[in-house]
Copies of this chain bind each other. A is one copy, B any other.
Amino acid sequence: MSRTIRIKDVAEHAGVSVTTVSHVLNDVPGKRINAETRARVKASAAALGYVPNRVARSLRTRRSQVLALISDEIATTPFAGLMILGAQEAASKRGWLLMLVNTGLDPAYEAREIQALLQRQVDGFLYATMYHREVELPDELAGLPVILLDAVSRDPSIPSVVPDEVGGGRTAVEVLLASGHRRIAFLNNRDDIPASRGRLEGYRAALEAAGVGYHQSLVTYDASDSAGGYRAAAAVLDGTARPTALFCFNDRMALGAYQAAAERGLRIPHDLSVVGFDNQEIIADGLRPGLTTVALPHYEMGAWAVDTLIGSIDDNPQNDDRAQVVLPCPLVTRASVTAPGQTPG
């Protein structure tokens, strides 16, 4: 077992001091080193297979090149994966690593974990929630480099990135309007969160832009799961003046809506067009016909947050892309939308 080789070994091999090796390998600006020496050092390092000990470097520089992703609940949503993946790949691309901590909504536990991360010289924090919501930054993170991920603070000076719920809602309704639908119901989530507010706003904006009247009776509120979607769809389909299209708050509600439609003998999309939200592959791709839906930019949000966070750490302390950013929600077209049929009302 050959001993792991240190900078000192490289220095001896190249016949220079460790200082010079460090200067060369790190391309320290303003240091004058002969080109020949420079080459010799690099050759020695390569020959010996030298890799710097990051722990020692961290101790000296007080920088770890490690980011922490703190989240409320990693497990409960299938989006977590994409957000984490976006963050991880962006970090890796720049030579950084990502620590992962799940705090499960317990502030005391959260404080301890932040403590543990700070002990390890973590350079920055991603504070993520697993669905878009408003949060308060924990005191322990105040003043540290941090970006909110899929969450937003009341304090506008805290940078954050969230999906463009309004734009997504508008997109969903626009595709229905473009197919000729005029009676479009919105099966909304009953929780008062940014997603339900924003998507409703987008729904109304799209209708208004198209000169279609907004009817309160076409908007229902229920739980944001399959059962809620089933109930909401049942109510709106059994009501007077049945809509020709459904915009569902999310794909799970759309799943329930499919079931309600099937029970009523309505074929999708011929008798009823449906648009979802979230692009949960398992549902959207698993349903027959495939569900046209609006995707949340989880991967992009994770990547953006890491890029921005690293930027704000590396560059001058406070560059002004500190901001509350909103990322677009693209449409994913499948087969659940077509022109309204001529079935009598």
Contacts and interface: CB of A to CB of B under 8 A. Distances in A.
A81 B76 contact: yes
Contacts of A76: 81
Interface string A60-86: 000010100100001111101110110
Contacts of A199: none
Nearest to A102: B88
Contacts of A85: 74-75, 102
A230 interface: yes
Interface string A129-158: 000000000000000000000000000000
A256 to B, nearest CB: 7
Contact of A119 (B52, B100, B255, B262): B52
A97 interface: yes
* Identical chains bound together, number: 2
A259 B280 contact: no
A195 to B, nearest CB: 17
A5 interface: no
A51 interface: yes
Nearest to A302: B75
Interface of A: 51-56, 58-59, 64, 66, 69, 74-78, 80-82, 84-85, 88-89, 92, 95, 97-102, 113, 115-121, 225-226, 230, 252, 255-256, 259, 262, 280, 282-283, 285-288, 299
17 contacts: A51-B115, A54-B119, A55-B55, A80-B81, A84-B100, A85-B102, A92-B101, A92-B102, A97-B117, A98-B100, A99-B100, A225-B286, A230-B288, A255-B287, A259-B288, A262-B262, A282-B282
